[in-house]
Amino acid sequence: MCAAIEHRGPDSRGVHVDAGVGLGIQRLRVIDLETGDQPIFNEDRSVVVVLNGEIYNFQELRVQLRARGHMFATRSDTEVIVHLYEEQGRECVRSLHGMFAFALWDSRKRELLIARDRVGKKPLFYSHLAGRLTFGSELPALLEDPEIPRDLDHRALDCYYAYQYVPAPMSAFAAIRKLPPASTLTWREGEIEIERYWRLDYTRKRRIGSREEVYAETREQIEAAVRRRLVADVPLGAFLSGGIDSSVIVAAMARATSEVKTFSIGFEETAFDELPHARRVAQQFATDHHEFVVVPSAVEILPELVRHYGEPFADSSAIPSFYLSRMARAHVTVALNGDGGDESFAGYNRYAGNAYAARLDRIPISVRRALAAAAQRLPPSPEPASARNRLRRLAGSLPLSAPDRYARYMSCLDGEQRAALYTDEYRREIGDSLAPEIIRSAWGLHSGEIVDALLEADVETFLPGDLLVKMDIATMAYSLEARSPLLDHELMEFAASLPAELKVQGREKKVVLREAAAEWLPRDLLDRPKQGFGVPLARWFREDLRELAFETLLAPAAVDRGYFRRDEVESLLRRHVEGREDLSGPLWTLLVAELWHRQFVDAPRPAALTARS
């Protein structure tokens, strides 16, 4: 199991085996390079812990714990966990400020505690079968255990075809689950108990005095979050795209330290290239800047993506994330990034679009249904962001409830499209789709303001299920640690307390962050349209990926799985390559899934552990 995730921590391997328990750790040395190898014990070795991640407030906790008589054998952040557990038990997670997945064994109680950080930066998979618990940071580690069956969870796969990722707590395998963010799992005498210990609260809004005070506090919160993440005993830098979020992080880093290394990748296609914007920010703050223009090859990198993600994952921005991580790792071990800014400060176009659609709910339902029917008669445009496609999407969702509208908006293949693709047998296998319920259950308790509801839904689903998975796997594939200041839970709590009108005003998004950052960054950079971190998928499926897509998706092995109607899949391919529609998202989703099946489902199972030497 350790060998399967050695890329996450190639610097040392630690193993602790005792009666009924085995813990393994692949460590990437970042803090306390000399004495911080794991597992780490308390004074009498009755408590042992392994940690993936970083505890940012470990120095303050260490002072407090030493004052209470605890003795430390290392200078590592990991060691505070065992002593904090002695003081607070499983409630110790509430005192930890950081990104983490850890496992702690209490030999006196014969109790295991595993926990995951508040936002879900660090992953944690587990399988609980007949009282036996197996867990790991990545799904392939669990597949090393021959006692875990590989039966698929087809309702989870249906969610993947909808959203391009498998939402927690599901995994692609029926016997394997994901521990949700902000949760602890306690195992004792074969039984497990899962508890959630944190959730953002959008109902408690602060009174706003002057907006300038809010902007100043926003800058202070960002600077504090960045300073916490600058503690390292290894080289450290930052990803810099030239967008608002990463630029704000670099600006705050430059205010906190004298030397900042920045890393940017560009593309030959100008529509996907942000290098000129990143270069301006690097010059403004005199960073040690590194650029790399890539010609991404999906054919070349696809097998690597499939292998590392371990279950179907079709966010195509994973491709540039892999290239960027590979480049940065040649210079640093830790890289800060701008993840989380959109989900805290409302940076996506869909927030403004869905807020507008919610106002149209006052229109009688009969009229909304008629508008939806009329919109569907409009032929789709080959340009995804065209006004016609936006109108089709908006009008088509008008008859739906707000959460169901958002579920459809977030779907790569909506319910009707999936139903058209699935064979009759596969529809029966799936039964009632869980995909809409993923968004409905995350809609949650909010202030009644639609923007807060949208933010909460994303923080509960899209952020941990897609964005954080993408970045964790892409960076750890190259033994690079990613830190995200805008995902600091105190900063997120501050952002959640701000009124929605400070985030979205009409078509203007991320208002408070833009205004706060105006003291650090030029206005034209702040006001330019959001570009995103993408690749030219549409062109690839008409050129580079065309042959692979036809051969893979229409192959007898794919058809014989009985999931999809061959004629519908071929129709998707032909409508796209002929330029009638942009179906690159659905095609990428199907292609990744089929290659994943070949690698993880069709491949031979591992030999029994007893047969290994």
Instruction: List pLDDT tens digits, range 134-164.
Output: 999 999 999 999 999 999 999 999 999 999 9
The pLDDT mean for the chain works out to: 93
Does an H or E element contain 357, and which? Answer: helix 349-359
Beta strands at 261-267 and 288-294: parallel, antiparallel or unpaired: parallel
Q: How large a percentage of the chain has pLDDT more than 70?
A: 96
Domain range summary for the chain, segments of one domain joined by + = 3-196, 211-346+457-527, 349-453, 537-601
- Cis link prior to 276 (omega < 30° from 0)? no
SS3 505: strand
d(CA 262, CA 281): 10
pLDDT tens, 581-603? 999 999 999 999 999 999 999 98
| pLDDT, greater one: 335 or 320 | 335
Whether the CA torsion 372, 378, 383, 388 is positive or negative: it is negative
Largest Cα–Cα distance in the chain?
A: 73
Q: What is the rounded distance in angstroms from the CA atom of residue 571 to the CA atom of residue 566?
A: 9
Q: Decide: helix, strand or coil at residue 263.
A: strand
Provide the token pair at 197. 């210990």
Distance of CA 402 to the CA centre of its chain: 24
| Tokens representing residue 295 in the block | 């010609």
3-state secondary structure of 245: helix
Q: Which helix (H) or strand (E) holds 351?
A: helix 349-359
Q: What's residue 608's pLDDT?
A: 42
Tokens matching residue 516: 């706060």
| pLDDT band of 385, cuts 50, 70, 90 | low
Q: How many CB atoms lie within 10 A of CB 230?
A: 17
Q: For tokens 């031979």, name the residue.
A: 604
Q: Do residues 518 and 357 make contact, with C-beta atoms less than 8 angstroms apart?
A: no
- Provide the β-strand partners of residue 239: 263
Nearest Cα neighbor of 573 from 598, 594, 600, 603 is 594
pLDDT of amino acid 447: 64
Q: What pLDDT, on a 0 to 100 scale, did the predictor assign at position 312?
A: 98
Taken in order 300, 306, 307, 313, the sign of the CA dihedral is positive
Tell me: the pLDDT tens digits for 195-241?
999 999 999 999 888 999 999 999 999 999 999 999 999 999 999 99
CATH architecture of 211-346+457-527: 3-Layer(aba) Sandwich (3.40)
Fold classification of 3-196 is Glutamine Phosphoribosylpyrophosphate, subunit 1, domain 1 (3.60.20)
- Strand blocks (E) in 78-131: 98-106, 111-116, 125-129
Dig out the tokens for 315 from the structure. 């966010």
Q: Are 346 and 451 in contact (CB under 8 A)?
A: yes
Angstrom distances, CA of residue 468 to CA of 261, 317, 321, 471, 474? 22, 12, 12, 5, 10
End-to-end, the C-alpha distance of the chain in Å comes to: 14
- How far is it, in rounded angstroms, from Cα 346 to Cα 367? 30
pTM confidence score: 0.94
**Residue 104: strand, helix, or coil:** strand
- The answer to whether residues 61 and 54 touch, using CB atoms and an 8 Å cutoff, is no
**330 burial via Cβ count (<10 Å: 0-12, 13-18, 19+):** exposed
Cα–Cα distance measured from residue 462 to residue 442, given in angstroms and rounded to the nearest whole number: 10
Look at 296 and 221; give whichever has higher pLDDT: 221
The mean per-residue pLDDT over the stretch 450-477 comes to: 97
Q: How far apart are CA 356 and CA 175, in angstroms?
A: 42
